[in-house]
Amino acid sequence: MKHWYRRAALARLLWPASLAFGFVVSIRRLLYRARLLKSAHPGIPVIVVGNLVAGGSGKTPLALWIAELLRSKGWSPAIVSRGHGASVGAPRAATIASEASEVGDEPIVLARRSGCPVWVGPERVRVIEALRAQHPEVNVLVLDDGLQHYRLRRDLEIAVVDARGFGNGFLLPAGPLREPVSRLKTVDAVVAHGTGAVKGFSMVLEGETLHRMTDSRDRWPLKSLAGQSVHAVAGIGDPNRFFIQLGRAGLKVVPHPFPDHHRFEPRELEFGDGAPVVMTEKDAVKLRGAARPQWWVFPVTAKLDPAFGDWLLRKLDERRRRPEAA
């Protein structure tokens, strides 16, 4: 209770700063819409997957799902990411051999699982130029995050809202919002990740199999650890979501939450009791060089409302028929 009062007092203290932030956000977006600030379109469809709340909400699994759907339907997608958690300068490709410190954690997961080019950099327009110079076959772009990156014009905006909702409803720094909740009225689609609090296409994250970090061929059903105590490690936007998922499979979870994109040190996963350590795929890529036999990785996959895929393909087909719309 004291923690709640402390957060409420801090929000009241920072409220004027949130008003100023909101004013700047609104003016900036207005200037881009009026083309008074320079923006660019790459000439091929751009799908932005983003959110309003600072931190993860399930954007990366959704971006991966979209890329896989597009590939299965004959498109040649590429994924563009900011590369959060890394000091990315010039545009560069992210591959399964990349280091998380160089390209970020999520891009490595995307490169490993998508089978399509993944490029990173803070300035998405420049990243796309470099990407297309190397991959002229790419005919659709999926942005993992970037809803607020208005320098890049987009064809479809998809906002993800998870079970945390919108926190206290305040903009940064008094609250978690990067843009007002009213921004949802202007996006093309809302994806509700594990929540019924907002209207939109439903999404859940599913997984059934663990693999040993020292040997990915050593795979076990998650439920094989039912009834056993495990240390659950998560440096994601909502660590509790990961802990609950493991608990529902019957594991006795000892939770170890870390900040999103946390740069782990191996000693932080030494708990002294020999119990299995289960972590997210995103966290595992940062610890590959220090893997231990008792460390296990739990990959998850997005499952979407079937109507979402139909909607997305229909919108892209409409865009393909009207190339002048870019």
Residues 15 and 20: their CA atoms lie apart, in Å, by 9
Residues 200 and 72: their CA atoms lie apart, in Å, by 24
278 and 308 in a single domain? The answer is no
Tokens 């004027």 belong to residue: 16
Residues 144 and 209: their CA atoms lie apart, in Å, by 25
pLDDT reading at 324 higher than 60: no
Q: In this structure, what token pair is assigned to residue 131?
A: 């990407």
Residue 4 lies in a domain: no
pLDDT of residue 13: 78
Task: Report the pLDDT averaged over residues 127-140.
Answer: 98
At 195-206, the pLDDT tens digits run 988 999 999 999
CATH code, 110: 3.40.50.300
Out of 13-17, 85-89, 274-278, 311-315, least confident range:
85-89
What is the tally of helices (H) and strands (E) in the chain?
Answer: 8, 15
- In this prediction, residue 8 has a pLDDT band, given cuts at 50, 70 and 90, of low
Alpha helices in 46-174 (DSSP H): 59-72, 100-103, 105-114, 124-134
181 and 154 in a single domain? The answer is yes
46 and 179 in a single domain? The answer is yes
> Running DSSP on this structure, what letter comes out for residue 274?
-
pLDDT of residue 326: 45
Residue 69 lies in a domain: yes
C-alpha dihedral, 113 to 178 to 30 to 189, nearest 10°: 50
59 and 179 in a single domain? The answer is yes
153 and 272 in a single domain? The answer is no
At 203-236, the pLDDT tens digits run 999 999 999 999 999 999 999 999 999 999 999 9
268 and 148 in a single domain? The answer is no
197 and 226 in a single domain? The answer is no
143 and 79 in a single domain? The answer is yes
Q: Which structural domain, as residue segments, surrounds residue 254?
A: 208-299
Task: Express as a percent the part of the chain with pLDDT over 90.
Answer: 86
pLDDT of residue 325: 46
Residue 121 lies in a domain: yes
At 69-106, the pLDDT tens digits run 999 999 999 999 999 877 788 999 999 999 999 999 99
Q: Report yes or no: 294 and 274 within 8 Å, Cβ to Cβ.
A: yes
Strand order from edge to edge, sheet including 301-304: 92-93, 118-120, 77-81, 140-144, 46-50, 156-162, 189-193, 201-206, 301-304
Q: Considering its fold, how many domains does the chain have in total?
A: 2
Cα separations in angstroms, 146 against 85, 184, 275, 323: 15, 14, 39, 22
Q: Report yes or no: 251 and 225 within 8 Å, Cβ to Cβ.
A: yes
